[in-house]
Chain A
Amino acid sequence: MKPRIEVVAIDALMVRLFDVIAEANMPWMLAATQRLRDGFGAALVDLVPSYTTLMVHYDLTVLTPAQARELINQALTDLQPQAQGSGQCHVLPVWYDLSVGPELTLLSQRSGLAVDEVIRRHSAHEYQVFALGFAPGFAFMGLVDEILATPRLNTPRKRVAAGSVGIAERQTAAYPVVSPGGWNLIGRTPARLFDRERDGYSLMQPGDTVRFESVDHAEFIKLGGDDTPLEAQA
Chain B
Amino acid sequence: MSCLIIEASTPLCLLQDAGRFGVRHLGVTQGGALDWVSMSWANWLLGNALDAPVVEITLGGFTVQAEDYCLLALAGADLGAYIDERAISPGRSFILQKGQRLRFTQPFSGARAYLAAPQGFDAPDVLGSCATVVREELGGVDGFGKALAEGGRLTYSGTGGAMKTLSDSALPAKAPLDVIVGAQIGQFSGQSLFDAFNTDWALDSRADRMGMRLLGTPLEYLGPSLISEGIPLGAIQVPPDGQPIVLLNDRQTIGGYPRLGALTPLALARLAQYLPGESVRLKPVVQETAHRQHVEYLQRFR
Contact = CB atoms under 8 A, between A and B. Distances in A.
Interface of A: 6-12, 14, 20-21, 45-55, 57, 60-61, 64-66, 131-140, 177, 194, 196, 200-202, 205-206
Interface residues of B, number: 44
Q: Provide the main secondary structure of the chain B interface.
A: mixed
Contacts of A66: 288
A196 B127 contact: yes
Contacts, number: 136
Contacts of A194: 26
Contacts of B137: 177
A194 B231 CA distance: 21
Nearest to A131: B254
Interface string B108-138: 0000000000000000001100000001111
A8 B26 contact: no
Given A9-B182, A45-B21, A136-B138, A61 B298 contact: yes
Interface string B10-40: 0000000000011111111010000000000
A14 B291 contact: no
Interface stretch (B63-71, B160-168, B260-268): B260-268
A166 to B, nearest CB: 16
Contacts of B136: 135-136
B25 A8 contact: no
B214 interface: no
18 contacts: A7-B181, A8-B232, A8-B261, A8-B262, A46-B23, A49-B230, A50-B227, A52-B229, A55-B232, A64-B291, A66-B288, A131-B228, A132-B253, A133-B228, A133-B253, A136-B23, A136-B27, A201-B23
Given A51-B228, A60-B295, A136-B27, A10 B180 contact: yes
Contacts of A46: 21-25, 30
Contacts of B254: 48, 50, 131, 133-134
A10 B265 contact: yes
Given A8-B261, A9-B234, A133-B252, 11 more contacts: A10-B294, A11-B291, A12-B230, A45-B21, A46-B24, A50-B227, A60-B295, A66-B288, A133-B254, A137-B26, A200-B26
